[in-house]
Each structure stands twice: as C-alpha cells, then as structure tokens.
Amino acid sequence: MEDQTLTANLTSLQKIIKVTFTDTAFLRSAITHRSYLNEHKEATWDHNERLEFLGDAVLELVVTDFLFAKYPEKPEGELTAIRAALVNTVSLADASTRLGINDYLLMSKGEAKDVGRARQYILANAFEACIGAIYMDQGYDAAKDFIAERLFPRTEEIVKKRLWQDAKSRFQELSQEHASVTPTYETVGQSGPDHDRIFTVGVFLRKEKIAEGTGRSKQEAEQQAALKAIETKGWGVE
C-alpha cells in the first residue's frame, strides 16, 4: 500500500512541477530526507543530499546567467547580493511551499513535526534537489525553465524594494531618506541559559522605539528588529 501511495504521489508531483520524468527514481530521491531512511530500512533509494548539491550548482548558474543579462549596468557586488536574496533559504522554502512540495516530503515522524526554521531548510533543500533531479533526468534547459517560472518573477520586487540589502542597511537608508536620522539599536532583554541565550533588541529613531526583534545573537535580533521596523513604518513598499 505504501508503494502504491508513493507512486501516486510521484505522479501528482510531476503534474505540479510540470515535468514528466523518464526515471521517477530521481524525483523520489529528491523528496526523501535522510531521516526517512533511518526509519524505513526497507527503502532502497538514496536521500536527497547529492541531488541538492547538484541542484544548488545548477541554480546558481541559471540565476547568474539571468541576472547578468537582465542588469548589464549593475556591478558584480550588487548582482551577487541580488542573487543571494533570490536563492536564500527563505526564498527557496517559500517557492517550495507554494509548489506544495511540503505535502510530498518523505521524512521521519520526528522531522515531520517540526514546522519551524528546520522545516524551512528541509523545504529549501528539497527545492534544490528537485532542480538536480530535473537536470539529471531532463537536462539543463528543463531545469532552467523550472527555475525561471518559480523564481525569476521575484527579481523585480527584490530590486525595486532593495530586498537584496540586509534589513539593517535597508532600514538605515530608509530612515535617512524619510526621517533624516540614523537608527540606533539597544539590547532591551535577555533570557535563557548561557548556552541558549535569546536576545531582545529595540531599534530607535532618536528616542522613539519603532520595533523589537529577538534572536540567538544580538546581530540576529537587530536584523529582526530592523525588518519589523520597516514593516511598521511602511517604508519601501510603494
């Protein structure tokens, strides 16, 4: 019964990603997390880490080629930052979620319960593994088409809203533009044991606290605070 379900799932997933595989073993491996094989010793196929490795390289080449042609006036540093924003974990996990890959992942029961940041990594890795699977089965052009449909539409938003900048840099630029002031950051709280500390940081414009952010380091908390401050102010979303 499990084999029949898996076969049906692979058929459905091919329709979703709009690729008909010659060898569905590639796609099966692409959706298989390492933890699944630990619980299912009867499984005879590989997990998705090798395909993820391959897909990551294909993804970088496809996106680099696209950005190089689309923005002939932009310098290398800015192109690198735009590419990073387009293919980071959050972006790939979002693309994976919108595709519905989450419903087809093969994971251990423990991993399946995790819906936080760990799931984001799993989803992003599965997206790259799917790229690797398409490349292996259908070739470069098919992989390029898959990437183009799922990621390229985000590019103009990233460039227009300068999402390629980190949140602190964006908020500083927007603060100077809209309020003629440079934001400051202050740690307003700490919690947890020394080995698992959580920091809370406030971001201020002059003496007004605009937002707070939390993280496992002050730098992470500052980035979260800046991101929330941009949302609070509604800057950069025109």
Which region holds residue 88: left if phi is over 0, alpha if psi is between -120 and 50, else beta?
A: beta
Active-site hit among 52, 111, 128, 137: 128
Task: Decide if 128 is catalytic.
Answer: yes
Q: What whole-number distance in Å separates Cα of residue 32 and Cα of residue 6? A: 11
DSSP secondary structure letters along 163-202: TTS-HHHHHHHHHHHHHS---EEEEEEEES-GGG-EEEEE
> What residues form DSSP beta bridges with 209?
204
- What is the separation, in whole angstroms, between the first and last Cα of the chain? 52
Active-site hit among 56, 94, 111, 222: 56
Task: Decide if 39 is catalytic.
Answer: no
Q: What whole-number distance in Å separates Cα of residue 27 and Cα of residue 18? A: 12
Residues designated as active site: 56, 128
